């Protein structure tokens, strides 16, 4: 841990944070488990590697969310808001993607998780929930070739 992060508390008392509370974080290290972040410049937290969708660097400041405070007081952090809010924000991103692509996209529920992660910075599960929501709202149709805006 770099000197500027030595003051960070490794654990937090119950009740300091609520689940899904928005916090400011700064990335200060990458480990085998994921990214270590300074939370509100007071606590240390971890974003697990399998939940990192994008390229990040040390010193980068971001908005993040308290995912869970474990029994040992250590803090799990998410870079995405609670899934319901997250799905809503991704539906907007998918609509923008479709408009930019002229109303049709090759992405659908059969697209690879890697391609979805690269294009939309989300898991395939969240992507599928988002296109399902758009489909139910009659905003898109899902075809064998991808998704299309409903005219």
3 has pLDDT over 70: no
Backbone angles phi, psi at 124, to 5 degrees: -60, -35
Backbone angles phi, psi at 34, to 5 degrees: 155, -145
Q: Any residues with CB less than 8 A from the CB of 34 and at least 6 apart, and which?
A: 46, 47, 48, 49, 50, 51, 52
pLDDT for the residue 2: 52
Mean pLDDT within 124-134: 91
Question: What's the rounded Cα separation, in Å, for the pair 77 and 100?
Answer: 32
53 has pLDDT over 90: no
Residue 140 burial (CB count, 10 A): 26
Question: What's the rounded Cα separation, in Å, for the pair 91 and 63?
Answer: 20
5 has pLDDT over 90: no
pLDDT for the residue 81: 78
Domains and CATH numbers, the chain: 3-78 (2.40.50.140), 83-149 (1.10.10.10)
Mean pLDDT within 4-21: 89
User: Which of 85, 150, 96, 84 lies closest to 120 in space, CA to CA?
Assistant: 96
Q: Give the pairing type, strands 22-30 and 61-69.
A: antiparallel
According to DSSP, residue 116 is labeled H
Q: Give the rounded percent of residues in the chain with a pLDDT score beyond 90.
A: 64
Q: What is the pLDDT of residues 71-117, one digit of tens each?
A: 999 999 998 877 666 777 889 899 999 999 999 999 998 899 889 98
Which pTM was predicted?
0.61
59 has pLDDT over 80: yes
Which band of pLDDT confidence, cut at 50, 70 and 90, is reported for residue 58?
A: very high
Tokens of 95: 């609509």
């Amino acid at each position: 841990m770099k000197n500027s992060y030595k003051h960070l508390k490794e654990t937090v008392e119950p009740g300091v944070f609520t689940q899904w509370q928005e916090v400011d974080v700064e990335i200060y290290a990458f480990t085998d488990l994921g990214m270590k972040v300074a939370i509100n410049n007071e606590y240390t937290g971890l974003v697990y590697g399998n939940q990192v969708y994008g390229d990040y660097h040390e010193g980068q400041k971001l908005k993040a969310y308290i995912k869970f405070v474990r029994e040992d007081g250590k803090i799990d952090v998410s870079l995405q808001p609670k899934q319901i809010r997250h799905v809503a924000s991704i539906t907007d991103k998918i609509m923008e993607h479709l408009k930019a692509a002229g109303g049709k996209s090759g992405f659908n529920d059969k697209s690879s998780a890697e391609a979805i992660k690269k294009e939309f910075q989300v898991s395939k599960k969240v992507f599928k929930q988002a296109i399902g929501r758009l489909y139910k709202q009659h905003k898109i149709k899902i075809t064998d070739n991808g998704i299309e805006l409903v005219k």
